[in-house]
């Protein structure tokens, strides 16, 4: 029973492997066997066949003399390996079951459903506070670990957890803030948190993920705007349910025609078919390089900036508005009338504050002159008050949060009253408000603010366009059904 035939290709590696596993016995032979094999290989490769054969004979004899030791070594290694494999399998199974139990416990603790049943024995204020705190700690710890170890996101066990919990947790942490602006005073969202929310949402809503990818396809194919496409996805996915529903209901009918638009960004419906009565195309002309900051300023330090992606979703809001209305914009003359009434009432309120001595007729006269562009002559008090009102609103409607309100007041008054924002000329160089309704711009801006969720902008609409905001909300709620 010779061992010469055992010197097949790979035997050296096999022998070293088994010897190494035999820890106790292997230590006595490992180094010697390696030396033997290496020396034999060296002699053979040098072409010294006679010396190699001679040496092989000595090696073979040594191995024969050590037969029992080698057999014992291999048997021990095999025994240890089999025992280890079984124990490892047992431990793996136990850990798997343990992980399942922990996952069940974690889901129970952080699931809002736990507190939604009146018969729930745990439903008491003190425990609710403690459970909420525990939920936050668990989610905070998990997300902090992902931020510290980004590579773990790919292995995130989304199937055994409630994805909506992570969406709500991240959304509640950042919603209302300009989270993408590096100069913002509020915290910026991390890439991991953004990507985790996207991962969870797309797992729960694969059909919306497909719609979004088709919509963003021109930008995605460019390959240079991964951050921008993810940020757009994040804001769309994290939007309130009604706005999320409306967005994805009509998104398939909107196209990105240009994503390096110079100058003003805009939406345009291109008519098609005989005499322009075909379905046409709803096209966006945007500049992906300027989506983070206000068009056309593109300056993160500008205090008038309305917040990241506001302009992008404003133009998308125009498209949604148009598609909702099919043959035209969905908002009706009713919304336009409501907007005008909101502006008129607010103007009269502040006219009285600025000049309490005026009577109702005089107050109305100033309001009318501002809304209709009429000049008041022959009364210095009224003229001066009118000028004071304009100066007052320049300050009142200044800043990024007044993006919607300033432009809407500008539209109603023909640019007589405005803050930081106002449409002045259209793309043909003509006065903008001669051919555009204030309600069209209001709809687009209100839609954008509710998608991006910037709290100050939403509050400003409620403060200065209260009834208009209510009517707009009803429009969206109706469209979402």
The DSSP element (H or E) to which 285 belongs, if any, is strand 281-285
Sign of CA dihedral 233, 239, 241, 243: negative
91 pLDDT more than 70: no
Q: What is the pLDDT of residues 220-231, one digit of tens each?
A: 999 999 999 999
Q: What is the mean pLDDT of residues 4-23?
A: 46
Per-residue pLDDT, 28:
42
Dig out the tokens for 243 from the structure. 């706005």
Cα–Cα dist 46/425, whole Å:
89
CA distance 393 to 412: 14
Encoding tokens for residue 466?
């209260």
The mean pLDDT value for 326-334 works out to 58
What mean pLDDT is reported for the chain? 77
202 vs 86: CA distance, rounded Å: 39
Assigned token pair, 266 = 């805009």
What is the tens place of the pLDDT at every residue in 252-286?
A: 999 999 998 887 887 877 655 444 444 568 889 98
Where is 473: in which H helix or E strand? Answer: helix 466-479
pTM of the entire predicted model: 0.71
pLDDT tens digits along 27-58: 444 444 445 445 444 444 444 444 444 544 55
Per-residue pLDDT band for 296 (boundaries 50, 70, 90) equals very low
pLDDT band for position 129 (50/70/90)?
A: low
- pLDDT-derived band of residue 5, with 50, 70 and 90 as boundaries? very low
Q: What percent of the chain has pLDDT over 90?
A: 37
Pairing mode, strands 281-285 and 254-258:
parallel
Q: Is 134 exposed, middle or buried (0-12, 13-18, 19+ CB in 10 A)?
A: middle
The answer to whether 29 touches 70, Cβ cutoff 8 Å, is yes
pLDDT recorded at residue 95: 61
Contact 367/341 with Cβ under 8 angstroms?
A: no
pLDDT in the model for residue 2: 37
**Maximum mean pLDDT: which of 31-35, 160-164, 189-193, 296-300:** 189-193
In this prediction, residue 144 carries a pLDDT of: 87
Cα(426)–Cα(433) distance, integer angstroms: 8
Burial of residue 162 (CB within 10 Å: 0-12, 13-18, 19+) is middle
Query: For residue 179, what are its two tokens?
Result: 């989270």
What pLDDT is recorded for position 138? 77
Q: Is the pLDDT of residue 219 over 80?
A: yes
Q: Which of 20-24, 206-210, 326-330 has the lowest mean pLDDT?
A: 20-24
Q: What is the pLDDT at residue 275?
A: 42
Instruction: Decide if pLDDT at 133 tops 80.
Output: no
DSSP code, position 376: P
What are the extents of the domains in the chain? Answer: 4-86, 118-204, 205-481
Task: Answer yes or no: are the C-beta atoms of 289 and 228 closer than 8 Å.
Answer: no
Region 224-239: mean pLDDT is 94
Give the DSSP per-residue string, 426-445: -TTSSBGGGS--HHHHHHHH
Quick one: pLDDT at residue 324?
85
- Residue keyed to tokens 């593109």: 298
Q: Which residues pair with 258 in a beta bridge?
A: 285
* CB 342 within 8 Å of CB 469: no
- Range in 52-66, 94-108, 465-479 with the lowest mean pLDDT: 52-66
Confidence at 325, pLDDT banded by 50, 70, 90? confident
**How does pLDDT run across 366-420, given as a tens digit for each residue?**
999 999 877 776 788 898 999 999 999 999 999 888 999 999 999 999 999 999 8
Residues 61-71 pLDDT 10s: 555 555 555 56
Higher pLDDT, 427 or 60: 427
Which range has the top average pLDDT, 157-171, 368-382, 405-419, 427-441? Answer: 405-419
**Residue 323 CA from chain centroid, whole number:** 25
Cα distance between residue 292 and residue 287, in whole Å? 10
- Report the greatest alpha carbon distance in the chain: 128
Query: Which residues touch 465 (CB under 8 Å, ≥6 apart)?
Result: 339, 342, 343, 404, 405, 408, 442
Other beta carbons less than 10 A from residue 237's beta carbon: 23
Residue 234: exposure state from Cβ atoms within 10 A (0-12, 13-18, ≥19): buried
How many other β-carbons are positioned within 10 Å of the β-carbon of residue 327? 6
The arithmetic mean of pLDDT across residues 188-206, rounded, is 93
For the cut 70, the answer to whether the pLDDT of residue 110 exceeds it is: no
Least Cα distance to 391 among 370, 414, 365 occurs for 370
The helix or strand, by DSSP H or E, that contains position 256, with its residue range, turns out to be: strand 254-258
């Amino acid at each position: 029973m010779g061992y010469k035939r055992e010197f097949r290709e790979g035997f050296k590696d096999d022998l070293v492997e088994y010897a190494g596993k035999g820890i106790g016995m292997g230590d006595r032979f490992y180094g010697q066997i390696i030396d033997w094999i290496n020396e034999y290989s060296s002699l053979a490769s040098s072409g010294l066949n006679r010396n190699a054969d001679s040496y092989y004979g000595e090696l073979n004899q040594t191995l024969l003399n050590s037969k029992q030791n080698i057999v014992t070594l291999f048997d021990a290694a095999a025994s240890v390996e089999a025992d280890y494999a079984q124990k490892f399998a047992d431990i793996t199974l136990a850990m798997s079951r343990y992980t399942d139990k922990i996952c069940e416990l974690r889901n129970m603790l952080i699931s809002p459903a736990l507190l939604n049943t009146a018969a729930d024995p745990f439903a008491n204020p003190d425990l609710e506070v403690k459970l909420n705190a525990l939920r936050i700690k668990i989610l905070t710890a998990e997300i902090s670990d992902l931020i510290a170890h980004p590579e773990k996101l790919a292995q995130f066990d989304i199937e055994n957890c409630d994805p909506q919990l992570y969406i709500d947790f991240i959304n509640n942490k950042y919603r209302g803030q300009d989270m993408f602006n590096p100069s913002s005073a509020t915290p910026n969202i991390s890439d991991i948190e953004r990507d985790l929310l996207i991962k969870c949402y797309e797992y729960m809503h694969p059909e919306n993920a497909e719609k979004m990818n088709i919509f963003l396809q021109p930008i995605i194919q460019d390959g240079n705007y991964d951050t921008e496409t993810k940020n757009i996805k994040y804001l769309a996915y994290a939007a309130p349910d009604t706005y999320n529903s409306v967005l994805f209901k009509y998104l398939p009918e909107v196209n990105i025609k240009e994503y390096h638009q110079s100058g003003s960004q805009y939406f345009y419906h291109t008519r098609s078919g005989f005499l322009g009565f075909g379905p046409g195309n709803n096209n966006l002309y945007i500049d992906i390089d300027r989506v983070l900051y206000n068009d056309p300023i593109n300056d993160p330090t500008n205090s008038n900036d309305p917040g990241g992606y506001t302009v992008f979703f404003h133009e998308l809001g125009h498209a949604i508005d148009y598609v909702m209305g099919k043959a035209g914009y969905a908002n009706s003359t009713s919304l336009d009338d409501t907007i005008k009434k909101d502006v008129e009432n607010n103007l009269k309120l502040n006219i009285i504050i600025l000049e309490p001595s005026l009577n109702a007729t005089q107050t109305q006269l100033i309001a009318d002159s501002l809304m209709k562009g009429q000049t008041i002559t022959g009364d210095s008090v009224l003229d001066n008050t009118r000028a004071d009102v304009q100066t007052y609103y320049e300050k009142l409607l200044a800043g990024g949060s007044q993006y919607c309100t300033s432009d809407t007041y500008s539209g109603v008054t023909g640019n007589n009253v405005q803050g930081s924002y106002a449409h002045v000329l259209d793309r043909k160089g003509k006065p903008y408000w001669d051919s555009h309704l204030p309600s069209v711009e209001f709809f687009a801006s209100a839609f954008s603010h509710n998608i991006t969720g910037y709290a100050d902008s939403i509050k400003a609409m409620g403060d200065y366009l209260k009834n208009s905001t209510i009517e707009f909300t009803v429009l969206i709620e109706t469209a979402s059904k």
